[in-house]
Structure 1
Amino acid sequence: MKVFAVFGDPVKHSLSPMMHNAAMLELGFNGVYHAFQVKSSDLRDAIYGAKAMGFGGVNLTVPHKEKALEFIRPDPLAAKIGAVNTIDFREGITGYNTDGIGALRTLLDSGIDIRNASVLIVGAGGAARAISFQLASEGAHITIANRTQERALKLAEEVNEVGRAKGAGLEDLKNLIKEADILINTTTVGMYPAVDDTIATADMMHPDLTVFDIVYNPLETKLLKEAKKAGSNAINGVMMLVYQGAEAFEIWTDIRPPVNIMKQAVLEGLGR
């Protein structure tokens, strides 16, 4: 039996085990997926230990996606993004990033036209990096807004190598949203248990706006509730979780997993 895992801190909220175990059961795949709380200071030992014990693969979540680059060999895309969320052990220790493709497929599924769209991404961490590079390479015009403006400016400069991007602070967030076609929250604001927190309120939004919150627990965040009040299009983080997980599963096994089964498992885990 192959063991797979997600490493994070915190990690108790993760629905990845339910999602991947459901896919394995449906496929008759001899494997199991667990969640392990791993502190940043122990990340290297955890990754090398997983390889030593014969794990089939590992996912990484907050706060490990960027730090892991110190210990593993990233593929070209992950190296450019500067963050890893998937590790494969079949040929050494190779890191990949499936967050960007997960976000892109979620938006396309919702009928959103990415090319030439004005996309405002709040946050400048690992997920923001992946989504920024992915959407910029698809022709979107990216604005990255972050509490620490220097991080946003630095990321935008890097993203400009593959597309168009600029950085900003959060002090002018209302005007940035007014100019945006798509608002994406890549921060943990609004994640369970802090469900009453939001990066923006309805009065800052407009009916032509698509609001995509990559947080999936709760299913409807405060940000998405505010989006609906404003008449904006609201998209939750479930399918991004599913699609990035499906990409990881295929990297590890060369098998395309049943996306519908994975989605059903996530929704059941969220009590829906």
Structure 2
Amino acid sequence: MKLSRIIKNKIIFKNNYEKCFIIGSSPSKNARSPRLWNYVYKKLKIQREMYPADLEKKNIRNFFKIIKKDETFKGLLITIPFKEISLKHVDKVSLSISRINSINTIVKKKKLEAFNTDYLGALESLKKIKLKKKNQKVLVVGSGGTGKTIMHAVNSFLTNSKIYLLNRTAGKSYKILNKFKSQKKNSFFHIKKYDDIFKIDKFDLLINCTSVGFDNWCKRKNLNINLKPFSPLSPIKKINGIKSKNLNLFMKKNKLIIKENQKITEKFLKKNKKIKVFDVIYNPVETILLKKARKNSIKNLNGLYMNLVQAAKAFVLVNGLGYKKVLNIMKSYG
């Protein structure tokens, strides 16, 4: 089977170049890592190229069959929604990865070995936002692949702290939290309803691990919706989709829903005046959540730094170069 038959975007491969890929639902449109990696390859005159591959879930198995046989393939980055399902197709997983159950990097030597550099990027982001290491109260929103990774990073970073998980699927939250509750390092709690975040006083950190706020069009009932105008601190229901991809029109049709959503965010931030806000999204650079934080003079951080660190760490794993050298080159990209 040819790769061109299972990916949605067109790829033109460079002759005599080794290959790396990044897979997800639409990395050809949104992923930053290919630009960073290819910039380093060009700077260091390495004959490798990273290619974005837009995949559907039904084609993930065939994709792995193809890359396992391809002798020019060297490494893979994984984005939403394949960070968990890709585990089924690797040959080697470390103990730390098996705990997280989510991966974002695969290195091909003789076999496929899985890593999670998102975890390392998250740890560095917690340091950058200057979170204290003890007696903190943290609210994590979202329990997908990124959410689970963030939870592990927060648990590793903190001691004697309270970590709350807010997720729309209760069963998934309990499954994640049960893995942590046997540990005595921190205390973990599930928030059942969005309104319950107002019953808890003085959070020290809020982390958004959802796609709410991300500038990307997706289909719902054959109509287009975009989550960019929303914050993740309230349920988003009854969104009015549109036939086109006109953001102004979309916002106009959802004016009341957006207004209520943002009102709840304002209320939460005013109640938690000393909170820090970390949003893993970096497109846009400033989400609605971060805009509201800035307007309320709240220290905040987007996902660009986490993305930069994870991209550099992953590059080192695949290509075997020094981390500081790679990081500095990637920083110079802008």
TM-score, scaled relative to structure 2: 0.75
Give the secondary-structure state (helix, strand or coil) at the position aligned to 2:143. Answer: coil
Would the aligned equivalents of 1:132 and 1:159 in 2 still touch at CA under 8 Å? no
The answer to whether structure 1 residue 180 and structure 2 residue 210 are counterparts is no
The answer to whether structure 1 residue 155 and structure 2 residue 176 are counterparts is yes
Q: Deviations over 1:142-181 (max 9, x none)?
A: 2111011221122111133554222223423532674321
In the alignment, structure 1 segments of 5+ residues that lack a partner are 268-272
The answer to whether structure 1 residue 39 and structure 2 residue 43 are counterparts is no
The answer to whether structure 1 residue 221 and structure 2 residue 239 are counterparts is no
Which residue of structure 2 aligns with residue 211 of structure 1?
Answer: 277
The answer to whether structure 1 residue 7 and structure 2 residue 23 are counterparts is yes
Amino acid at match of 1:37: D
Query: 2: CA distance between counterparts of 1:185 and 1:176?
Result: 19
The answer to whether structure 1 residue 30 and structure 2 residue 47 are counterparts is yes
Which residue of structure 2 aligns with residue 196 of structure 1?
Answer: 229
Would the aligned equivalents of 1:152 and 1:169 in 2 still touch at CA under 8 Å? no
Amino acid at match of 2:76: V
Which residue of structure 1 aligns with residue 129 of structure 2?
Answer: 110
Amino acid at match of 1:171: Y
Which residue of structure 2 aligns with residue 258 of structure 1?
Answer: 326
Would the aligned equivalents of 2:273 and 2:298 in 1 still touch at CA under 8 Å? yes
Q: Which moved more, 1:117-126 or 1:252-261?
A: 252-261
Amino acid at match of 1:2: E
Q: Which moved more, 1:223-232 or 1:153-162?
A: 153-162
Q: Deviations over 1:41-73 (max 9, x none)?
A: 111221231232131100110000011122213
Larger RCO of the pair (alpha carbons < 8 Å, separation 6+): 1
Would the aligned equivalents of 2:202 and 2:274 in 1 still touch at CA under 8 Å? no
Would the aligned equivalents of 1:239 and 1:263 in 2 still touch at CA under 8 Å? no
Q: Deviations over 1:172-225 (max 9, x none)?
A: 353267432111101111111332111131221133111100001000111100
The answer to whether structure 1 residue 51 and structure 2 residue 68 are counterparts is yes
Percent of matched pairs sharing the same residue: 28
Query: 1: CA distance between counterparts of 2:101 and 2:121?
Result: 17
Would the aligned equivalents of 1:4 and 1:31 in 2 still touch at CA under 8 Å? yes
Amino acid at match of 2:192: G
Give the secondary-structure state (helix, strand or coil) at the position aligned to 2:109. Answer: coil
TM-score, scaled relative to structure 1: 0.91
Amino acid at match of 2:232: I
Q: Based on CA coordinates, which of the two structures has the bigger radius of gyration?
A: 2
The answer to whether structure 1 residue 144 and structure 2 residue 165 are counterparts is yes
